[in-house]
């Protein structure tokens, strides 16, 4: 049966796991000089600056707290 064949393959170590060296799509897609030139800017996160993101979260939580207080007060 399928279960016996699977257990035999597991016991005889035919399934040895994944490759020891992993590959990434970025490394396969670009030449090494492009990857070396890429600089991670901590102030720029996916096109948004951290300060803008922080202001967005501040407004979001302020609105969330106001809505929660309104719900507690008026039901």
Q: pLDDT tens for residues 14-57? A: 556 666 677 777 777 777 777 777 777 767 666 656 677 778 88
pLDDT for the residue 27: 75
pLDDT for the residue 71: 92
pLDDT for the residue 20: 67
Q: Is the confidence at residue 64, as pLDDT, over 90?
A: yes
Contact 32, 24 (CB under 8 A): no
> The tokens of 19 are what?
């490759």
Task: Using alpha carbons, list the distances in angstroms from residue 6 to 16, 19, 62.
Answer: 13, 21, 56
Contact 45, 51 (CB under 8 A): no
pTM greater than 0.85 (yes/no): no
Task: Using alpha carbons, list the distances in angstroms from residue 14 to 7, 11, 38, 41, 50.
Answer: 10, 8, 40, 45, 49
Contact 45, 37 (CB under 8 A): no
pLDDT for the residue 66: 94
């Amino acid at each position: 049966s399928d279960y016996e064949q699977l257990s035999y393959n597991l016991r005889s170590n035919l399934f040895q796991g994944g490759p020891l060296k992993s590959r990434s799509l970025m490394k396969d897609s670009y030449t090494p000089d492009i990857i070396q030139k890429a600089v991670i800017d901590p102030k720029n996160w996916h096109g948004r600056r951290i300060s803008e993101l922080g202001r967005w979260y501040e407004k979001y939580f302020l609105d969330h707290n106001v809505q929660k207080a309104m719900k507690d007060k008026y039901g």
